[in-house]
Amino acid sequence: MHREPLAERLANEIRSRGPISASAFIGAALYDPAEGFYVRAGATGRAGRRGDFLTAPEVGPLFGAVLANALDTWWIDAGEPDDWVVREVGAGPGTLARSIIAAAPACLERRALRLELVELSDAQRSMHPVDGAIESFSASPAGRCDVVLANELLDNLPFDIAQRSVEGWREVLVDIRGAAFVEHLGGIVDIDLGVDAEPGIQLPLHRAAGEWIRANRSASCRLLAFDYAAPIDVLAERDGGWLRTFREHGAGTHWLDQPGSQDITTDLAVEQIVAAADGLLMTSQAQYLRVHGIEALVREGREIWEAGAPAGGLAALKGRSRVREAETLLDPDGMGAFTVFEWAPAARST
Ligand SMILES: C[S@@+](CC[C@H](N)C(=O)[O-])C[C@H]1O[C@@H](n2cnc3c(N)ncnc32)[C@H](O)[C@@H]1O
């Protein structure tokens, strides 16, 4: 079946129905079934050293090893149930799951752990590891679960944009002029941004992220999201720099250019995530990884390296690699400063 290119489809929609929301444009640019940056097969929309951006699981197996520790802690606290369901949403190619399995946590060894990987992109889902403990889904399954994890998902959920004008904060819509997509100011926004700013300043509106949090928040399940975030007044000072585009490990171009050709992400405005659901605990990624044992894992890696270095070999190299990975994951000017949003369960349902 012939299908018009994504840019033409969006342009025609705007011509016939008027300007569309930023989230509708970004949703199509990232997740259009035929041309979305994350959805089309091939090199686009991939995390990893050979992909478009580097995330904590892709730095190496250490991030997953620390999370495996955390999963064991919560599993033990819950009374070592026979069935321990951990759902990772936005799992990309499944790298975090690979590292968790490789770390061999007790909940896995005791055959309690079931890892549900939810990834909407077929191309990425096809890269998921094949393992008895892992099941892949294109959308979250209906069953109960004990932990929901999301690494760098919320920043990639389609967001809207508000712009300060003399009358207040107005919605930034997407219009078409000639063949180019352009920003167009719509009505007053329905969210109290809780900050004042000069006319012209833009800020993100995380409506879809808020909905996702509310849909995944439940009294019996721990919800955990790792992402880059900052208070709204800090974002207001970034003069639009909270919106970033990426392509092949470099900066992309304007977010309205060539939909489908680049990643479009936002720094999260902390206040909007806090407002999404009650019971949130927040900490830096560095602090969270320390609480769950990263330093002991690095010490162990260093000992393995020092003991095995003369002979070389994979175990020794892996040990040394932990030291380097920890430097990246804990970097106070980089991933270490990311935010961990955690909503703890009230009780485990049986
Ligand atoms: C930035 S990537 C992060 C991948 C991986 N978590 C990591 O840290 O390397 C975001 C991923 O979320 C996926 N995604 C976005 N919205 C989703 C949704 N509603 N359900 C499942 N996956 C989604 C995208 O296709 C993409 O693979």
Asked, for residue 87, whether it belongs to a domain, the answer is: no
The reply to whether ligand 1 has any atom less than 6 angstroms from the CB of 35 is no
What pLDDT sits at residue 16?
97
Asked, for residue 217, whether it belongs to a domain, the answer is: no
Cα–Cα nearest to 23, from 208, 201, 272: 208
Q: How many CA atoms lie within 13 A of 176 on its CB side?
A: 17
The reply to whether ligand 1 has any atom less than 6 angstroms from the CB of 118 is yes
Report how far Cα 198 is from the mean position of its chain's Cα atoms: 30
DSSP string for residues in 55-114: -HHHH-THHHHHHHHHHHHHHHHTT--S-EEEEEES-TTSHHHHHHHHH--HHHHTT-EE
What pLDDT sits at residue 4?
81
pLDDT tens, residue by residue, 1-50? 566 899 999 999 999 999 999 999 999 999 999 999 998 866 455 655 54
Asked, for residue 180, whether it belongs to a domain, the answer is: yes
Asked, for residue 283, whether it belongs to a domain, the answer is: no
Convert 174-200 to b/e letters by CB count within 10 Å (16 or more is b). bbbeeeebebbebeebebebebebeee
What pLDDT sits at residue 225?
98
How large is the average pLDDT for residues 54-68?
Answer: 96
Q: Which atom of ligand 1 is nearest to the CA of 39?
A: 25
Q: Are residues 331 and 200 in the same domain?
A: no
Q: How many CA atoms lie within 13 A of 254 on its CB side?
A: 7
Q: What is the domain count for the chain? A: 2
pLDDT tens, residue by residue, 146-180? 999 999 999 999 999 999 999 999 999 999 999 99
Q: Are residues 201 and 268 in the same domain?
A: yes
Choose the final residue of a domain: 276, 302, 328: 276
pLDDT above 80: residue 135: yes
- Please report which confidence band the pLDDT of residue 305 belongs to, taking 50, 70 and 90 as the band edges: confident
pLDDT tens, residue by residue, 82-100? 999 999 999 999 999 999 9
The reply to whether ligand 1 has any atom less than 6 angstroms from the CB of 153 is yes
Asked, for residue 335, whether it belongs to a domain, the answer is: yes
Asked, for residue 71, whether it belongs to a domain, the answer is: no
How large is the average pLDDT for residues 267-288?
Answer: 96
pTM given for the model: 0.94
Q: Are residues 169 and 203 in the same domain?
A: yes
The reply to whether ligand 1 has any atom less than 6 angstroms from the CB of 55 is yes
Write down the mean pLDDT value for the chain. Answer: 92
Q: Say which residue, 222 or 312, is predicted with more confidence.
A: 222
The reply to whether ligand 1 has any atom less than 6 angstroms from the CB of 117 is no
pLDDT tens, residue by residue, 249-260? 789 999 999 999
pLDDT above 80: residue 348: no
Cα(305) to ligand 1 centroid in Å equals 34
> Counting beta carbons within 10 angstroms of the beta carbon of residue 142, is it exposed (0 to 12), middle (13 to 18) or buried (19 or more)?
exposed
Asked, for residue 179, whether it belongs to a domain, the answer is: yes
Q: Are residues 177 and 314 in the same domain?
A: no
Q: Are residues 162 and 38 in the same domain?
A: yes
Cα(138) to ligand 1 centroid in Å equals 11
Q: Are residues 255 and 303 in the same domain?
A: no
The reply to whether ligand 1 has any atom less than 6 angstroms from the CB of 90 is yes
Q: Are residues 39 and 165 in the same domain?
A: yes
What pLDDT sits at residue 349?
45
Q: Are residues 258 and 164 in the same domain?
A: yes
Cα(51) to ligand 1 centroid in Å equals 14
pLDDT above 50: residue 311: yes
Asked, for residue 247, whether it belongs to a domain, the answer is: yes
The reply to whether ligand 1 has any atom less than 6 angstroms from the CB of 121 is yes
What pLDDT sits at residue 43?
47
Cα(120) to ligand 1 centroid in Å equals 7
pLDDT tens, residue by residue, 104-118? 999 999 999 999 999
Q: Are residues 194 and 257 in the same domain?
A: yes
Q: Are residues 163 and 267 in the same domain?
A: yes
Q: Are residues 272 and 308 in the same domain?
A: no
Cα(121) to ligand 1 centroid in Å equals 8
- In a mutational test of the pocket of ligand 1, which residue from 62, 98, 148, 156 has the highest number of ligand atoms less than 8 Å from its CB? 156
What pLDDT sits at residue 68?
98
- Please report which confidence band the pLDDT of residue 320 belongs to, taking 50, 70 and 90 as the band edges: confident
The reply to whether ligand 1 has any atom less than 6 angstroms from the CB of 89 is yes
Choose the final residue of a domain: 219, 253, 276: 276
Containing domain of residue 190, as a range?
6-43+158-208+236-276
Percent of the chain clearing pLDDT 90 (strictly above): 82
The reply to whether ligand 1 has any atom less than 6 angstroms from the CB of 120 is yes
Q: Are residues 204 and 165 in the same domain?
A: yes
Choose the final residue of a domain: 276, 299, 327: 276
How large is the average pLDDT for residues 271-286?
Answer: 95
